Amino acid sequence: MQTIDHYAVFGYPIGHSKSPRIHRLFAQQTGQDLEYAAVAVPADTFSASVSAFLAGGGKGLNCTIPLKELAWQRAEQLTERARLAKAVNTLALQTDGTLLGDNTDGFGLANDLTRNHQVKISGTRILVLGAGGATRGILSALFGLAPDSVLLINRTVEKADNLAQEFCHLGPIRSGGYADLHNLSGFDLIINATASSLSNELPPLPDHVLRDGGVCYDLAYGNQPTAFVRWGQTHGAAKSVDGLGMLVEQAAEAFRLWRGLSPDTAAVINLLNRERNLHASES
């Protein structure tokens, strides 16, 4: 019989996940007794692994690449933001025994941008690169901050067009391919939601596309600045940051859903940043 509540992150691969560390820090900080594990779960065993986890007394799960769409299918109820994203990063066992699916990624990005980095979104022109699952997860939260407009650019233009059509009821959104950027300039915020950083690549951006003093935000993060963060640093960005803060903020929202408590995210972000700087100076 388990006495401590169990949580986990499922993904494949999962070895480098920072989620166990973050949730243990939240638990320490808020005095919660819980366990949080990282479990490698391939897509074809996802549903069975969720069932086994719940049968063993598990209370909640985070799901990451490549499982967010499967988690969306597996959830018995969805929050509005998960319904819009068609992707779930947080599953919570409710008191009636049903499984609630939420998507806290967009909330995490919005909080990191506006609270931690003090970026004002209202009235701004935003360029979003990529039209995959990561973009799906953030669009409704971005529109919640009332930007002037969002332009969605993707290598495969059809995917950007389809996504723009799907989300156009939420706010002003247009779509196109990278060639369209050559006639455009002055974006206040560029968000890299492509998978390019994972292979240390850079989407093909023309030099003038960011407003001088604008902001670059990479949803990816790593021990070194990503290629996109470096691009921002050399193309006039006042701030060019990666998604470590978003990672902590989305985790905090999952923790709140499970435990009813909001941890102090700034303390955890500062700690992870200090560790990262130490790691960078040693390597």
Q: How far is the CB of 112 from ligand ATR (least distance, A)?
A: 17
Residue 255 sits at the vertex; the CA angle it makes with 254 and 257, to the nearest 5 degrees, is 65
101 binds ligand ATR (CB under 6 A): no
Q: Which is nearer to ligand ATR, 197 or 265 (CB)?
A: 197
Residue 232 binds ligand ATR, judged by CB under 6 A: no
Least Å distance between CB 45 and ligand ATR?
20
Residue 132, classified by CB atoms within 10 Å of its CB into exposed (0-12), middle (13-18) or buried (19+), is: middle
Distance CA 2, CA 17 (A): 25
Our finding on whether 250 is near ligand ATR (CB under 6 A) is no
Out of 19, 103, 140, 154, which residue is the one contacting ligand ATR (CB under 6 A)?
154
User: What's the residue count for the chain?
Assistant: 283
Give the one residue of 196, 240, 250, 265 binding ligand ATR; rule: CB under 6 A: 196
* Residue from the set 159, 230, 256, 276 that interacts with ligand ATR by CB under 6 A: 159
- C-alpha angle 164/166/168, rounded to 5°? 60
Name the amino acid, one letter, at 93: L
Cβ-based nearer residue to ligand ATR, 54 or 227: 227
Out of 11, 20, 203, 232, the only residue in the binding site for ligand ATR (CB under 6 A) is: 203
Alpha-carbon distance of 91 to 62, in angstroms, equals 6
Using CB under 6 A as the binding rule, whether residue 155 contacts ligand ATR is answered as yes
- Cβ-based nearer residue to ligand ATR, 52 or 198: 198
For residue 71, CA distances in Å to 87, 174, 199 come to 7, 29, 26
Tokens of 126: 């935003």
Question: Which tokens belong to 77?
Answer: 């109820």
Number of residues counted as binding ligand ATR (CB under 6 A): 14
Tell which phi-psi region holds residue 3, choosing left (phi > 0), alpha (psi between -120 and 50) or beta. alpha
Is 177 a binding residue for ligand ATR by CB under 6 A? The answer is: no
Minimum distance between the CB of residue 268 and ligand ATR, rounded to whole angstroms? 23
Catalytic residue set: 68
Comparing CA positions, the residue from 238, 173, 247, 176 lying closest to residue 212 is 238
What does the binding site for ligand ATR look like in residue numbers (CB under 6 A)?
Answer: 130-134, 154-156, 159, 194-196, 201, 203
